[in-house]
Structure formats: structure tokens, C-alpha cells
Amino acid sequence: MSIEEYKDVWVFIEQREGEIFDVGLELLGAGRELADKLEVNLCGVLLGNNVKNSAEDLYAYGADIVYVIDDPVLENYRTETYMKAVGDLVRKYKPEIFIYGATSNGKDLASAVATEVMTGLTADTTMLDINLEKRLFEASRPAFGGNIMATILCKKHRPQMATVRPKVMKKPEADFSRTGKIIEEGLGLKEEDLQTKIIDIVKSAKKSVNLEESDIIVTAGKGIKDEKGMAMVKELADTLNADLGASRDVVEAGLIGHAHQVGQTGVTVTPKLYIVIGVSGAVQHTVGMQNSDVIIAINNDPEAAIFNVAHYGIVADAFEIVPKLTAELKKALDKEGVTTNG
Amino acid sequence: MNILVSIKQVPDTKVIKVNPKTNTLDRSSAPAILNPYDAHAVQEAVRLKQKHGGKVIVLSMGPPQAANAIRKCVEIGADEGYLISDKKFAGADTLATSYALYKAIEKLEKEQGIDLVLCGKHAIDGDTGQVGPGIARRMGMPPLTNVINVESVDTDNKLIRVHRKIEEGHEVIESPLPCLLTVEKTINEVEYAPLPNMLRAARYEPYVWSVDDLEDVDIKQLGLKGSPTIVGTMWPPEKSSGAEMIEGSTDEQVSRLLEVMNDTQELLAVKGGDGA
């Protein structure tokens, strides 16, 4: 394999029923920067059934080229069909870099493709860059439960691949004046030749909480100790009309469900306001919240790492300050409720 | 039905420490444990065995101490354990790891027949989730990742039906056997080990295989040499300029907090609007 033959930056564009997932657009934003540094094209890879019409939308988010395979067999994600489709495209068009959203299916696909084309894959990256001198892709991620950051390189194999968690990269502003081109390919698989069959897709009743969409999150950490502490934090959250977040310790202690977990093994959130109470600030947690607009941290340990990522810090006993804060907020909101906003 | 579970011994990442001078992990600071997701995979295998017969075979790659993780699986109810252990495996990334495990599974498949392979969703030291799908691809088995429920196994027609977690809920998918599942923690509760299992586990010695015990191995695909990815640099998590610390009495702190919240966003107004 001659690695010089490989160029362009590719982004896998995940969709369901023709609706494109935001993470693909976020990665087009990140991919645009990589492609500009390398002076190559940014390409989207769009697979599905009746998805061709969505391809042109991707130009606005930075794609120069969109590879499309439109086939009824690709209606729903299946490893065997998507791996074949992507593997064929990679072998034919030879991308230098290929990034995927770290969703269930994105991770599944990237892992299968890496084995299929025998290349390196870095999981759950949070920073992407190019070393121009060596023309290498630098994919960085928290490692060992977020205790340290590591930059992973793939020197001798192409494409250099990585998955990126949703919400870590910023979705670019759409520029509808941009244009590009579509390259369409066939799949060459028939339903009857396939091993796996999707019997049903069961959509959960609306999730009890979807922190990724929250404007305000109040998060409880180990420092809140027990149910009583949890209730105190919940009251503050309710007062602010905020959603409840939690660190891994709190979830593992069974104080709240996993849907509330913020961090590397939970969700990545970007609210306008993130209030974090009794969380020490291990990378495991901070990678999931550091892009929040305003972060307020309350912790009784002045040395807590959470103060490194927070915008405002208070060294205090949560059990003392949080109830007071809640009470004062209630007063303020009552007034606000009367005057209301025009 | 013979079920193979691929497991890993990992450092307990909740207590591991970073050496601030060298920016490397002080592995001696953390106890080695069975990867928590793998415990659920073993439990599921035991559950399926109780229903459909056969045996549960555990496989791991690692240093000799990894035998302890295999013993833990025997406690849960695994019948046999195999450890592939060799300096030539060292430094493997996910691609080289899946190759080595595949070679061992291929041998076990030839010797005893394997109907189903189970893995945990990911290992907590790497969080990659890439080895399971890699093994499946190499074995030519369909990979079914993020499984939260095994709905049914039809041993006569060699079919399995599982629920896979996806962003919007779950999908019900049917696959022929053999296939490979990676499981979420919610698939089951790991039960307390019954006493006979504990006694058996304490004395249990897994079969240990070196590279030479495997067949048709391409040495170039093993260990560091067979790994396309390498770790470039490691650094402690970024320290920003730090927070503006709000000092003073609790009352002063609270009133400053209210100011901050009012200034930065119209958050209070948002709430007021909601209530209107």
C-alpha cells in the first residue's frame, strides 16, 4: 500500500429515515478544518434508502463531495451491508482520513471497517489535528477512564480513522451558497443474500431526560453523599427549571439513572449554564461538560480539579450553600414571574 | 450450545493514579479486575447455557496474572478458561488484539465447536468497543453490538433474536448462529457466586497458550508490530486559567451567584416565561 495515494478527509453521515444526525454535521465542521490544513477535499459518505436528495444539503456544512449509495437494502443500519458499502468506497476512492460519529452504529461501523480494510482506529476522540510536517492525523482522547489524555497516531496505514462523540465538535453555520458534487455508487447486495434481518425498531417513549438538549443542567457529584443530598440538588434544579446531571460515582451508587450521567461514559452536554456540585473534576467527567457556556462549580475542596474548567468557583459546603441559593432563587423568580419578560 | 466469552483483565480506572512527573499511569496504584461489562457477558452466557445446554468457555489475552480474571468468570459459572499469553502479543492495539483472539477462537472452534461469541460492550481501560466487532469480522460472523436483551435462541434452526440498543430506543434483530454479541450492563444482573463455584474458582488453573500453540499465525500481525495505531504523546488533562473564585460569607456568595446567573443568560426570564 502506498500511503501517498490516499487523500481527502471523509465524514460518515449517519441518518435514520432520511433525517441526518447532527453529529455528522458537527464532524463536517471539524473535517473542514482538517481538509483545509491538508489542502484536500472534504467528503461526506451518505448511505441509506431514498437519501440522495439529502446529499446536497451537506455542501452547506462544508462538504465538497458527497459519496452516495442509495439502496433499499441500506434502509436500516446493519453491519454487514454498511461495512461492505463503506469498505468498497474506501478501496476505490482512498481517503486519507475518515471520521465517524461515536454513536452505537457509528462505532460499530468504524470497528468493522477498520478490520475490513486493516487500518488503525481511535475511539471516542475529543480533539483532532494535523501534524503538517509529518502529514499525520493526530487524534486525541481521554484514556484510562479519563485519567490522562493521549494522542494516537496511525503512521503506516490508511485511512487514518477515528470516532468522535456527539456534541464534542461544534456544528458549523450553514452556508447555502456553497456547492459541491455527488458521486453515486451501487451496492451489489440483495436482501436474500444477507444474514441478519431487522425485525422491528422500537422507539423508546420520549426519554425521561435528554441532557444533550438541555439549556441548564445542575449536576451532582460524590460530594452530595446520599439521597438527601440528591434531593437538595434536585430542588435547585427544579427551581431553575433545569435538568439533573450526575457524575459516574453518583450513578454507580444508584442515586440516579444512567441517562443522567455526564462524561466520557455518559453524555456530552453543552448547556448555557452548568452548575456542578460536589464533583471533583476527573477528566472522565470534564470531557462531557467543558464546552458548556457558563460553568459554576461548588466544592468544599479548594484544590478540586473542577475549578480548572469552571468559570466561577465557590469553595463551600454544598449542604450549606445550595439550600440558601435555592431559597434566594425562588424569591427572585417570584418577582420575575410578576414582571415577566416582554 | 457452546458459548465463548472473550474477556479482559483491566486496571480499576476509578482508582488509578497518574505519575505527575512522567505523565504515565501508575498501574501499581490500581487493582486489576475483571472488566465489568465482561462479567455481564459471562453471566449471560451462563444463563443461556442453563436454558440450552452446552458449555461456557472463557478466553482472554494478557499476562499470566490475567488468570485471576478468568477465575472470576469461573465463579460466575464459566466451565473452562483459556489464556493466551506471550511476549509477542504485547503492545497490541485493537486490530492486533482481535487478530490474536481470532486465532485462538479459530482453534477452539475446530476442537470443540463454538455457536456463539459474547463480549462486553467495551473495556473500561480503553473504552473502545472495537475488539468484539473486529473478532466478528475476522470470523465471518455477524456482529450484534450493544445488546440489551437476548429474546430467543432457536438451536434447531440456529437462529438468535436480540435487542440492540440504538440512539432512539432499540432494534430487534435476527441473525443466524454462530454470531457475536457485545453486551451492555443492563442485559442482566451479575449474580452472587454460589459456594461450589467459588471453591472451584479458587483452585482453577486456565489453559495457557503461547503463540506456538496457535495455528497458522502471521507473526507480523501480532503485538506492537501488528498495531497500526501508536500512542504519540500523553499529557495530563488541560488546566485552564481557572475559575473566578467567589469569596465571602455564604450570603455574599449566594448573591454574587445570582448576579452571575442573571448576567450571563436570561435564565431567570426563561423560567418566568415558562411559568406564564
CATH label of the domain that carries residue A312: 3.40.50.1220
At B249 the three-state DSSP class reads: coil
Q: Which of B146, B265, B272 sits opposite A272 (nearest CB)?
A: B265
Domain stops at, among A145, A167, A193: A193
Contact call for A296 and B257, based on CB within 8 A? yes
The torsion angle over the Cα atoms of residues A247, A253, A255 and A260, rounded to 10 degrees, is: 30
Report whether pLDDT(B22) > 70.
Answer: no
What's the order of all strands across the beta sheet hosting A97-101? A121-125, A160-164, A97-101, A9-13, A42-48, A65-70, A181-184
- Work out the minimum CA distance from A124 to partner chain B, whole angstroms: 7
List all residues of chain B from 237 to 256 with a beta carbon under 8 Å from chain A: 237-240, 242-246, 250-251, 253-255
A320 at interface of B, judged by CB pairs closer than 8 A: yes
The CATH homologous superfamily of the domain defined by B3-221: HUPs (3.40.50.620)
| Highest-confidence segment of A16-20, A269-273, B135-139 | B135-139
Q: What is the mean pLDDT of chain B?
A: 90
Beta-carbon contacts of A293 under 8 Å, excluding residues fewer than 6 positions away, are: A270, A271, A272, A273, A274, B264, B265
Contact assessment for residue B128 and residue A123, using Cβ atoms and an 8 Å cutoff? yes
CB pairs under 8 A between A and B: 275
- Closest chain A residue by Cα to residue B146: A104
Whose CA is closest to B64, among B80, B81, B76?
B81
Residue with cell 436482501: A191
Same domain, A131 and A51: yes
Please report residues of A whose CB lies closer than 8 A to that of B231. Answer: 150-153
Q: How many CB atoms lie within 10 A of CB B107?
A: 17
Whose CA is closest to B7, among B53, B51, B71?
B71
Which pLDDT belongs to residue B275? 32
* Rounded CA separation B251/B253 (Å): 5
Whose CA is closest to B98, among B233, B231, B228?
B228
**Residue A219 belongs to what H/E stretch?**
strand A216-220
- Closest chain A residue by Cα to residue B275: A337
Contact call for A273 and B261, based on CB within 8 A? yes
Instruction: Name which of A87-101, A270-284, B108-122, B174-188 the model is least confident about.
Output: A270-284
Q: Residue A247's pLDDT band (boundaries 50, 70, 90)?
A: very high
Same domain, A41 and A171: yes
pLDDT tens for B48-63 read 999 999 999 999 999 9
Give a yes or no: residue A199 inside a domain: no
ipTM of the complex: 0.86
The torsion angle over the Cα atoms of residues B27, B28, B33 and B38, rounded to 10 degrees, is: 10
Pairing of β B244-245 and β A312-315: parallel
Which pLDDT belongs to residue B270? 41
Same domain, A229 and A324: yes
Contact assessment for residue B1 and residue B49, using Cβ atoms and an 8 Å cutoff? yes
Which pLDDT belongs to residue B239? 55
Q: How many domains does chain A have?
A: 2
A212 at interface of B, judged by CB pairs closer than 8 A: no
Task: Give the residue, A194 or B26, on which the prediction is more confident.
Answer: A194
CATH label of the domain that carries residue A81: 3.40.50.620
Beta-carbon contacts of A100 under 8 Å, excluding residues fewer than 6 positions away, are: A11, A12, A14, A27, A106, A107, A109, A110, A161, A162, A163, A164
Report whether pLDDT(B104) > 60.
Answer: yes
Give a yes or no: residue A83 inside a domain: yes
Tell me which of B137, B221, B235, B244 to substitute to probe the interface with A (most A C-beta atoms closer than 10 Å): B137
Domain ranges (residues) in chain B:
3-221, 240-276
List all residues of chain B from 66 to 85 with a beta carbon under 8 Å from chain A: none
Q: Which of B170, B175, B237 sits opposite A195 (nearest CB)?
A: B175
In single-letter form, the type of residue at position A240 comes to L
* Rounded CA separation A326/A198 (Å): 49
Q: State the residue range of the domain holding A189.
A: 3-193
Contact call for A107 and B239, based on CB within 8 A? no
Biggest CA-to-CA distance, chain A: 71
Q: Residue B241's pLDDT band (boundaries 50, 70, 90)?
A: low
